[in-house]
Amino acid sequence: MSTFTFYKYQGAGNDFIIIDNRKPLFNSEDEDLVRRLCDRRFGIGADGLMLLQHADGYDFEMVYFNADGREGSMCGNGGRCIVAFAKDRGLIDKSADFLAADGRHYATIDAGGRSVSLQMIDVGRIGRDGEAYVLDTGSPHYVALVDGLSSFPVVAEGRSIRNGTRYKEKGINVNFVEADGAGYYVRTYERGVEDETLACGTGATAVALAMAKHEGRDGSMTVPIRVAGGNLRISFVKEGDRFTDIFLEGPAAFVFKGEITR
């Protein structure tokens, strides 16, 4: 039997199991184990699991797994949470330079450790699928404007789009959005979780960029995004169809720690 320590963090309600795997003790190829740990009834419960690992030339590497046990693409709120975890572990102070599935990321964390701003990858193209927008912000996203979002059937509609002919093989995260004051209210159906989550960082980023395109805006801007689990802010520079200096900012908090013996 082996025992290892896990940590639970959440960012705007998007929750994660994090394991310090710099001494590689966790079997990352064990999809069943990851799936069981993320299970909310028979495990710890989380939207995903992350390993913090050593990487030459970086503060650390983030390896992300979806709740279904499979290694996933970039997770924005997960990235913010693992930065908070790295600070709590004494690996970083006010900033981090780390490696993730979609490449290098830079992040800053406030002195109290309660808010993390994470630089996302540049985006050079936003496509269309009918009236919806399709883009990749480290993970693939579908963005659709709807009315009455608070009562909209997000799970049923999101599942239908995610499993439709066009997206079934690779999957896609499905975001529904409506205007909300100076920003937007967003609800997301996430692939890999196969359910609605309380927040999605790459999804909030995708919505902010898609809405800038939808409204024909250019220049430097900051867009507030409200999600079920709290509030996020997306800042970026838009020049024509190119988006740069994209930052996802929001809360990242420690929840609890424990041990797993197996």
With CA atoms as reference, report the closest residue to 143 among 107, 189, 194, 99: 189
Catalytic, out of 75, 86, 186, 211: 75
Q: How many CB atoms lie within 10 A of CB 150?
A: 8
Catalytic, out of 116, 186, 200, 208: 200
* 75 a catalytic residue: yes
Alpha-carbon distance 111 to 94, whole Å?
7
* 81 a catalytic residue: no
Catalytic residue annotation: 75, 200
